[in-house]
Amino acid sequence: MLDLRTAPYGALALRVALGVLFLAHAGLKIFVFTPAGTVGFFGQLGLPAFVAYATIAAEVAGGAALILGVWTRLVAVALAPVLLGTIVLVHGAKGFFFTAAGRGWEFPAFWALALVVQALLGDGAHALVRSPSLRSSTVA
């Protein structure tokens, strides 16, 4: 049974953790790999430069939005394809386990699933801008 008193705080914890992960990965692309290095890596995957910049922007904006609780459901759904893209283009052929050489798809798959769970749970406690409700409204 779902405890309605504590569930919003569980959603908050998940939301903030997901946001921090996205900001950390954006920081890696910006400060360690550099934007030029990230563009080069994406180019090796056959992707144009704008996809690298769009990914960095999505990770920064999406991470911040999740932490702050701004349209959490929509942001979580919008970010899931980023993780699915890493599975298809980077990690998928390297096996399942993330500890394997080259890093498998275990972690990005779990991260994508966590985004789906966040979208289903909703904003959680202390969200700045609430997401639209999933409940359908009927007019009599």
- The mean pLDDT value for 93-100 works out to 85
Residue 24 forms part of a structural domain: yes
Q: What is the pLDDT of residue 98?
A: 81
With beta carbons less than 8 A apart as the criterion, state whether 14 and 117 touch.
yes
Contacting residues for 123 by C-beta, under 8 A, at least 6 apart: 11, 15, 69, 72, 73, 130, 131
Structure tokens at 126: 């202390």
Q: In the 8-state DSSP scheme, what is residue 124?
A: -
Question: What pTM value is reported for the model?
Answer: 0.91
- Percent pLDDT > 70 in the chain is 96
Look up the domain containing 57 and give its range. Answer: 9-121
pLDDT tens digits, residue range 23-62?
999 999 999 999 999 999 999 999 999 999 999 999 999 9
Residue 3 forms part of a structural domain: no
Residue 71 forms part of a structural domain: yes
Domains contained in the chain, number: 1
